[in-house]
Amino acid sequence: MPLGCTQPADDVPWVRITAPAESRIEAPAITQVEAKADLGGHAIEQIEFSIDDELVFVDDTEPYVFEWQNRRVGKFVFTVTAKGGDGEAVESRGVEFEFVAKRGADEAVLIAEGSHWLYLDTGEPSDEQWTGAGFDDAHWLEGPAQLGYGEGDEATRIRFGENPREKHVTTWFRKTITVEDVGRFDRLKLRLLSDDGALVFLNDHFVALESVGQVGLLFQSAPVFVLIRRSVTDEQGSGVRVFHAHPCDVG
C-alpha cells in the first residue's frame, strides 16, 4: 500500500512501505526504505524490496530496512513483497520517489521552473540580432513554461502554423535575468527539456546544442515543438545577465 494509507485490519495480510516519508529526496544519498507487514498470523520469512520491478534486496529480520546507496536522479517506483514460510505472499502497491540533484550551499536557481518566457511562434526567421541583450522583443508573446504543443501538459501552448503537415521549423524563446554579484559564480548548470532539439545562447554567445546535429540544420529541419521546463540552474555559475533559448526540431 502507498505511504499514508490506513493500516489494514490485523486479520488481512498486508505489506507496505513506511519510510521515507518524503517522496522527493536529494541524491546522491543513502536512503533507508523501511517496510512493515502482517500475514494474518503467519510468520514472515522475508521481505523483498524491488525498484522498477527489479529485485534489489531481501531482508529476513525485523525491522525490515533496505539502505539504498543511490547516486542517480529521476523517478523510481518501489514495491515490497512479504513472504511467509508456508508459501504466503503479498505485494504492496508501488510507491514513487523522485530523486533530485543535491544543491550546494552556494548554489542558486537563476531561472525557476515555470518561469515566464518571451517567444516568437510565427515561423518567420527572427532578426539576426535576436540573441543580443539590446534586441527589441516588445512584440513577442509571453507565457510560463512549459511552452510547446502536442503533449497536453504545457502551461503555454505555442502555434505551429495553419497546416499540421507543414509545421513551423523553428520557434524562438528569450529570457532576461539579472545577476547582482557576478563574481560569486564560476560556472552554470543548464537543464533543458526539448523535443526534438534546441540551440542555446547566453549573452549573444552560443553555449549548447541538443539533438540538432549541426547548427546549419537550424532552418532546414522538420516541424518544431519545444517544452522548456527548467532552463538554467547555476552551480556557482558565471555572471550571465541574459539567457536565450533557441529550440529546433530535427524530425
The answer to whether residues 75 and 160 belong to one domain is no
Q: Give the helix/strand (H/E) hosting 143.
A: strand 141-144
Distance CA 166, CA 68 (A): 49
Query: Is residue 2 one of the residues assigned to a domain?
Result: no
Residue 20: is the preceding peptide bond cis (ω within 30°)?
yes
Query: Is residue 113 one of the residues assigned to a domain?
Result: yes
The residue range of the domain holding 78 is 14-101
Distance CA 243, CA 174 (A): 7
Query: Is residue 84 one of the residues assigned to a domain?
Result: yes
Which of the 8 DSSP states describes residue 92? P
Whole-model pTM: value is 0.47
The answer to whether residues 121 and 198 belong to one domain is yes
The answer to whether residues 92 and 74 belong to one domain is yes
State the total domains in the chain: 2
C-alpha cell at 196: 526534438
Report pLDDT digits (tens) over 10-25.
557 999 999 999 898 9
Distance CA 198, CA 145 (A): 15
Domain boundary among 101, 124, 144: 101
The answer to whether residues 93 and 119 belong to one domain is no
The answer to whether residues 117 and 93 belong to one domain is no
Domain boundary among 81, 101, 121: 101
The answer to whether residues 97 and 112 belong to one domain is no
The enclosing domain of 77 has a CATH number of 2.60.40.10
The answer to whether residues 211 and 162 belong to one domain is yes
The answer to whether residues 141 and 213 belong to one domain is yes
In the chain, the percentage of residues whose pLDDT exceeds 70 is 74
Report pLDDT digits (tens) over 71-126.
788 899 999 999 998 888 999 999 999 988 776 656 777 888 888 999 999 888 67
Domain boundary among 73, 101, 129: 101
In sequence order, what are the residues at sequence separation of 6 or more whose Cβ sits closer than 8 angstroms to the Cβ of residue 141? 118, 119, 120, 121
Query: Is residue 138 one of the residues assigned to a domain?
Result: yes
pLDDT band at residue 48 using 50, 70 and 90 as cut-offs: very high
Query: Is residue 6 one of the residues assigned to a domain?
Result: no
Q: Is residue 218 a contact partner of residue 224, using CB atoms and an 8 Å limit?
A: no
The answer to whether residues 47 and 154 belong to one domain is no
Query: Is residue 3 one of the residues assigned to a domain?
Result: no
The answer to whether residues 46 and 122 belong to one domain is no
Query: Is residue 120 one of the residues assigned to a domain?
Result: yes
What single letter denotes the amino acid at residue 96? E
The answer to whether residues 74 and 119 belong to one domain is no
The answer to whether residues 112 and 224 belong to one domain is yes
The enclosing domain of 131 has a CATH number of 2.60.120
Q: Is residue 142 a contact partner of residue 155, using CB atoms and an 8 Å limit?
A: no
29-38 and 95-101 as β-strands: parallel, antiparallel, unpaired? Answer: unpaired
Least confident of 19-23, 33-37, 68-72, 246-250: 246-250
Residue 185 pLDDT exceeds 90: no
pLDDT at 104: 64
C-alpha cell at 178: 539579472
Query: Is residue 218 one of the residues assigned to a domain?
Result: yes
